[in-house]
Amino acid sequence: MSYLTKTAVVLSMLIASGCAGTQSTTKDSMKEVRLITLEPGHFHAALVQKSMYADVDSTVHVYAPEGNELQSHMNLINQYNTDSTKPTNWNEVVYIGPDFFQKMLDEKAGNVVVLAGNNLKKTSYIDESINAGFNVLADKPMAIDITGFEVLKNTFKTAADKDLLLYDIMTERNEITSMLQKEFSLIPEVFGTLEKGTPENPGITEESTHFFYKQVSGNVLTRPSWFFDVKQQGEGIVDVGTHLVDLVQWVGFPEQIIDYTKDIQLTSAKRWSTDLTLNQFNAITKLNGFPDFLQNNIVQDSLLQVYANGEINYKLKDVNAKVVIKWLFQAPEGTGDTHYSIMRGTKANLIIRQGAEEQFKPELYIEPVNGKDNAYTEALSSKLKEVQSKYPGVELLETDKGWQVSIPASYKVGHEAHFGQVMEHFLDYMKNGNMPEWEIPNMIAKYYTTTAALELAKKE
Report, as an integer, the average pLDDT of 378-391: 97
7, pLDDT greater than 60: no
So what's the pLDDT on residue 331?
A: 81
So what's the pLDDT on residue 129?
A: 98
Q: Dihedral of CA 444/450/454/456: which sign?
A: positive
Reduced DSSP (H G I as helix, E B as strand, rest coil) percent helix, strand, coil of the chain, to 5: 40, 25, 35
Domain's final residue, options 137, 169, 201: 169
Cis peptide before 392 (omega within 30 of 0): no
DSSP, collapsed to helix, strand or coil, labels residue 183 as helix
Report, as an integer, the average pLDDT of 30-51: 91
So what's the pLDDT on residue 165?
A: 97
Residue 206 main-chain phi, psi, to 5 deg: -125, 125
How far is the C-alpha of 341 from the C-alpha of 181, rounded, in Å?
A: 9
Domain's final residue, options 169, 197, 224: 169
The reply to whether 103 and 160 lie within a common domain is yes
Does any domain span residue 69? yes
> How many domains does one find in the chain?
2
The reply to whether 123 and 135 lie within a common domain is yes
So what's the pLDDT on residue 212?
A: 93
How far is the C-alpha of 15 from the C-alpha of 93, rounded, in Å?
A: 9
The reply to whether 418 and 303 lie within a common domain is yes
The reply to whether 178 and 134 lie within a common domain is no
Q: The domain containing residue 57 runs over which residues?
A: 8-169
> Where does 18-92 have alpha helices with state H?
44-47, 68-81
Does any domain span residue 3? no
30, pLDDT greater than 70: no
Confidence of residue 349 (pLDDT cuts 50, 70, 90): very high
Does any domain span residue 437? yes
Does any domain span residue 271? yes
The reply to whether 215 and 229 lie within a common domain is yes
Give the CA angle between residues 275, 277, 280 to the nearest 5°. 110
How far is the C-alpha of 449 from the C-alpha of 149, rounded, in Å?
A: 10
The reply to whether 383 and 242 lie within a common domain is yes
CA 301 to chain centre: 34
Query: 273-321, pLDDT tens digit by residue?
Result: 999 999 999 999 999 999 999 999 999 989 999 999 999 999 999 999 9
So what's the pLDDT on residue 336?
A: 77
Does any domain span residue 292? yes
User: Taking the model in full, what pTM does it have?
Assistant: 0.91
Higher pLDDT pick, 32 / 427: 427
Q: Dihedral of CA 256/261/267/269: which sign?
A: positive
Percentage of residues of the chain with pLDDT beyond 70: 93
So what's the pLDDT on residue 226?
A: 92
Does any domain span residue 125? yes
Report, as an integer, the average pLDDT of 358-366: 94
23, pLDDT greater than 70: no
So what's the pLDDT on residue 28?
A: 42
How far is the C-alpha of 425 from the C-alpha of 174, rounded, in Å?
A: 11
1, pLDDT greater than 60: no
Report, as an integer, the average pLDDT of 351-378: 94
Intra-chain end-to-end CA distance of the chain, in Å: 48
What b-and-e string marks burial along 365-385, b requiring 16 or more CB atoms within 10 Å of the CB?
A: bbbbeeebeeebbebbeebbe
Residue type at 242 in one-letter notation: T
Report, as an integer, the average pLDDT of 118-125: 96
Query: 165-179, pLDDT tens digit by residue?
Result: 999 999 999 999 999
The reply to whether 165 and 254 lie within a common domain is no
**Is 419 within 8 Å of 171 (Cβ atoms)?**
yes
Give the CA angle between residues 234, 424, 395 to the nearest 5°. 95
24, pLDDT greater than 80: no
Does any domain span residue 375? yes
CATH of the domain at 381: 3.30.360.10
The reply to whether 138 and 271 lie within a common domain is no
CB neighbour list of residue 69: distance below 8 Å, 6 or more residues apart: 39, 40, 41, 117, 224
The reply to whether 152 and 189 lie within a common domain is no
So what's the pLDDT on residue 31?
A: 57
Does any domain span residue 127? yes
249, pLDDT greater than 90: yes
Percentage of residues of the chain with pLDDT beyond 90: 85
Q: Indicate the Cα dihedral angle 193, 198, 204, 206, nearest 10°.
A: -170
Q: How far is CA 259 from CA 154, 303, 438, 441, 444, in A?
A: 15, 42, 10, 7, 9
The reply to whether 203 and 55 lie within a common domain is no
Torsion region of 11: left, alpha or beta (phi above 0 gives left; psi -120 to 50 gives alpha): alpha
Confidence of residue 240 (pLDDT cuts 50, 70, 90): very high
Q: Which helix (H) or strand (E) holds 8?
A: helix 8-17
Residue type at 93 in one-letter notation: V
Domain's final residue, options 169, 203, 227: 169
Which of 140, 113, 116, 117 shows the shortest CA–CA distance to 127? 113
So what's the pLDDT on residue 376?
A: 97
Longest dimension (CA), the chain: 75
Q: What is the chain's Cα-based Rg?
A: 23
How far is the C-alpha of 54 from the C-alpha of 47, rounded, in Å?
A: 17
CATH of the domain at 76: 3.40.50.720
The reply to whether 106 and 195 lie within a common domain is no
The reply to whether 338 and 212 lie within a common domain is yes
Mean confidence (pLDDT) of the chain: 92
Query: 49-105, pLDDT tens digit by residue?
Result: 999 999 999 999 999 999 999 999 999 999 999 999 999 999 999 999 999 999 999
